[in-house]
Structure 1
Amino acid sequence: MTEQTRTPRSGGRTTERQVGRGIRAHRMDPRGRDAARRFPTEGSAALRPKEQPKQPAAAGPRLKVAPPPPVTGPRVPFVALILVLVVGGVLGILVVNTKIAENAFRIERLKESGAALDLQQQELQREIAQAKAPGNLTAQARKLGMVGGGDPAYIRLQDGKVIGIPKPGAGAPSVTSDQTAGR
């Protein structure tokens, strides 16, 4: 008869049973207690680590899971990369701030020149309005040698009939006229 020990997954008590019969065989210790209950539950013996059963030497050394090796990389390239990023960021911010200030000065100059051009446009519009005034037109016409005409004659476009009598302008040219020298 072969005996087999079965350990539950929960780590609890072990039971022994005979293979083939399905009957539990209980061993009793000298005090009359069950042999499966030999573990101490009180005192310092309860804290003592459990004894490992000895394995046969033919099985070889017992394998253990080793912790992964610590990850260490070269620190100098990492530190250099961080320094390059920080210096590059600072220089980038400096360039952006310089461009912003430069554009602010340029905008101010353009506003000033725009204001000057607005004043010049207003002055030119005032001069045009002054030149279009009826008194100035008459003075300019006399300066060119023109004389005032009488009542005008009209031509009706539908049939080409002339209404009124056309007469040439009468009067002497002005003294400031350019044409007095040619007559």
Structure 2
Amino acid sequence: MSVNKKGTNLARADHDEIVKAARRRARAADSRRRALAGDASAPVTDGPLALQPRIIEPEVAPPAPAPVAPEPAAPKRKAPAKRPDTVAPPAPVTTPRTPFVVFLIGLVAAGIVGLLLLNTAISEDAFALHDLRAAQGELDAHEQQLKDELAELSSPGNLAAAAKRLGLVPAEEVTYIRLPDGRELTMPKPGGN
């Protein structure tokens, strides 16, 4: 590296030239890349692939052809119709909106009426269930009252009083009859001899 008397770098001038050359190479590469990618809007302007000016040469008229005798004409066939390169997009489809809107409103209205009917049926069932539970409570109370009366009537004191009213007396001895042979067995009274 060389330095002059003022201490500045002599390579500074070379550095600027290197930067300019690098920029030129980058522009050329970018131009080539666009040309290879098919970007027709940006022609190649730098580098070996750059477009050269076209030289237009004057056209020379070809010599006139010699007269030829006409040949009999062959029957002409129709050329097949060429398909177009592009197909036109189909016409936009428009549907009438009024029937669709009426259908949606009817559907919503039917849904609301259905929900109201369902809610009414559920409410009726709830009232019937409430009535049945009230009747069950009354029947449970009546059943409990009958059980209490039965327990009172079947107590030993009440049974003895009812037996005396009917004229029954306590048994002195208990007698059992055996069914296979018909023999009677007398059981002694407890506590007696």
The TM-score with structure 1 as length reference comes to 0.51
Structure 1 residues 140 and 63, CA gap change in structure 2 (3 angstroms): same
Q: Does 1:109 align with 2:131?
A: yes
Correspondence for 2:191: none
Q: More relative contact order in 1 or in 2 (CA 8 Å, sep 6+)?
A: 1
2:164 to 142, 146, 158: 142
Report the equivalent of 1:127.
Answer: 149
1:75-124, CA deviations, whole angstroms, 9 ceiling, x for partnerless residues? 22211211110000101111111122222222222221111111111111
Any idea what SS the aligned residue of 1:72 has?
coil
Q: CA RMSD in A?
A: 3.6
Paired letter, 1:115: G
Alpha-carbon separation, structure 2, partners of 1:103 and 1:165? 65
Gaps of at least 5 residues in structure 2 are 1-35, 41-50, 56-80, 189-193
SS of residue paired to 1:153: strand
Query: How far apart, CA to CA, are the structure 2 residues paired with 1:12 and 1:95?
Result: 69
In structure 2, C-alpha distance between the alignment counterparts of 1:136 and 1:97, rounded to whole Å? 57
How many residue pairs end up in the alignment? 118
What SS does structure 1 have at the residue aligned with 2:174? coil
Q: TM-score, normalised by structure 2?
A: 0.49
Aligned match of 1:39: none
Residue 72 of structure 1 corresponds to which residue in structure 2? 94
- 1:81 paired residue number: 103
Larger helix fraction of residues = 2
Pick closer, same or farther for the CA change 1:66–1:150 going to 2, 3 Å. Answer: same
Matching residue's letter, 1:76: T
Q: What are the ranges of 5 or more consecutive residues in structure 1 without an aligned counterpart?
A: 1-8, 14-28, 37-58, 167-183
Alignment partner, residue 10 of structure 2: none
Cα 1:68–1:149 change in 2 (3 A) is: same
Shift of 1:141: 2.5
SS of structure 1 residue aligned to 2:90: coil
Sequence identity, in percent?
Answer: 41
1:95 to 117, 120, 140: 117
- Structure 1 residue aligned with 2:176: 154
Cα shift at 1:163: 3.2
Distance in 2, Cα, partners of 1:77 & 1:165? 102
User: 2:54 matched to 1:35?
Assistant: yes
CA distance in 1: counterparts of 2:37 and 2:177, whole angstroms: 126
